[in-house]
Amino acid sequence: MEAWLLGIDPLSAVFVAAFLTVGLPSVLYMGSLQQDLRQLAIACAFIGSTLGVVLARNLLLFLVFWELTVLWACAMILRDRPAGGLTVVYRYFLMHIAAGTSLFFGISIQFANDGSFAMGQVAPAAQPFFLAAFLIKAAVIPMHVWVPLTYPFIHPASAVVLSASATKLGVYGFARFLPGVPWLAYVGAGMALFGVVMALRQKTARQLLSYHLISQVGYMVAGIGVGTELGITGGTLHMWNHVIYKTLLFMVAGAVVFRTGVEALSGIGGRGRWMPLTFVAGVMGAAAISGLPPLNGYVSKTLLTAATEEQAVLQGMLTLAGIGTAFSFSKFIWYLFLDRRTQTGKVATKIREMPPFACLAMASLAAMCLLQGLFYPFFYGLAGHTISVEVFDLPKVWVDALRVGLGVGLYLVFRVAMWSAQLVKTPTSPAAGTPVAGATISGQVPADASLPWDVDVVYAWLSARVLALSQAFAACARDRTQGYLLMITAVLVGLVLFLCW
């Protein structure tokens, strides 16, 4: 009977602590914005299911709770009536059911191999299926698309709840079943760089945060892929820190969007500056995710740096990602709180601060960013860390502060260059000498234009071709059953070929 009960160990304790730390603030925030008891109940059920995943002590319970998180998440998205309609929840459901199906096959093979559902060493034949499930859940490239195609299009409060833990279950799967896979560390570092580059190109606050979520998960996957005690501890502790500051940042972005009704960064016009507590919380979250001492992001990034000090390429990739993170969150803070004009040139109008419970939720998470940094030995203990690393060694502090300063400085140089370009190249009307409405600066891409070879555009195009091919095969079938089988076969063959490519 003990095998069928929930239990806790040092690894589970970190994830439980992380999910519970943000659980109450997330519910308070959702209650302030939506005031929907049914939605609150669904959110609580989702959080409870995520706890079930990390507390499960056998593979069947693990699978049951894994799939329950998908169902509750879809129920939450459906109740929001997202801007993209059923397409948003359909994409989310399809990707996560694919992960669940892969996990089911992996567990079946594991049972056939061991004759038991005990959670232990994964059999070699089952590893590819476990790996596929965790790659999708953790939003590893190219299975990342469900994140930027979901969180920016649902209610801000639901995005806060889902973003806190959905991808982290994939990280938990890697840490529990597949730690120490060397190539996985470089996949994680690639995620960190890819997420930063894509975030810099985004034109809305929540799209920027969605790609940075992928980037930060990359740090966790890199640490777990290294496989040492220090690497796994750094990865899991970074997960906890990330849950705190990324939830805070989604709350901040959601608050500004909720009050202004504007998603585009360039259309907000810095109106968040009239929300002082939200502004302070946003700066705190941006500093924490950038790794500024003495906040929590600095502590876990320092551990990961120490864990990768013998792998120069891996460490260099994570360092570049850190500089890009500081650069892009300078952009985030600028457009939400410091910019003085909207895209149309009109002076921004004042807006109100968020309701008290939403402010309390943001203030509590902002305080946690500081407490986790200053009192890190306590959180070391919860992470099961036994190796001594001098986190606040002066050279380490200076290096991280300089890295953050370099990212912020590069953004300031970029802003000055943009202002200079506007002064020199903005076309003017011959009659009035004022800027022509709708004119763009020479060399800039218009706000509604897509850059060529955007990886998500390519991915969507290939997915559409695979689906069209499967439908063509199904049209040749003699009956419906054969049609379904042909369609599924064509989709699987197409996906395998795409992943090989």
- Helix ranges (DSSP H) in 2-126: 10-33, 37-55, 59-80, 86-114
pLDDT digit string, tens, across residues 11-39? 898 999 999 999 999 999 998 888 788 99
pLDDT digit string, tens, across residues 58-96? 899 999 999 999 999 999 999 888 777 788 888 899 889
Least confident of 4-8, 122-126, 321-325: 4-8
In angstroms, rounded to a whole number, what is the distance separating the alpha carbons of residues 351 and 347? 13
pLDDT digit string, tens, across residues 309-328? 888 899 899 999 999 999 99
Is residue 439's pLDDT more than 50?
no
User: What residues form DSSP beta bridges with 60?
Assistant: none
Q: How many residues in the chain? A: 501
CB within 8 Å of 373: residues ≥ 6 apart: 288, 293, 294, 295, 296, 297, 298, 299
DSSP per position, 279-294: HHHHHHHHHHHHT-TT
450 DSSP assignment: P
Q: Would you give the distance in Å from CA 295 to the centre of its chain?
A: 19
Is residue 121's pLDDT more than 90?
no
Is residue 469's pLDDT more than 80?
no
Q: What is the pLDDT of residue 417?
A: 80
Would you list the domain boundaries of the chain? Answer: 1-152, 179-428, 455-500
Binned at pLDDT 50, 70 and 90, residue 497 comes out as low
In angstroms, rounded to a whole number, what is the distance separating the alpha carbons of residues 406 and 397? 14
116 DSSP assignment: S
Binned at pLDDT 50, 70 and 90, residue 345 comes out as very low
pLDDT digit string, tens, across residues 369-423? 999 998 888 877 766 655 667 888 888 899 899 999 999 999 988 888 877 766 6
In angstroms, rounded to a whole number, what is the distance separating the alpha carbons of residues 473 and 471? 5
CB within 8 Å of 337: residues ≥ 6 apart: 270, 272, 273, 279, 282, 283
In angstroms, rounded to a whole number, what is the distance separating the alpha carbons of residues 431 and 358? 50
Is residue 431's pLDDT more than 60?
no
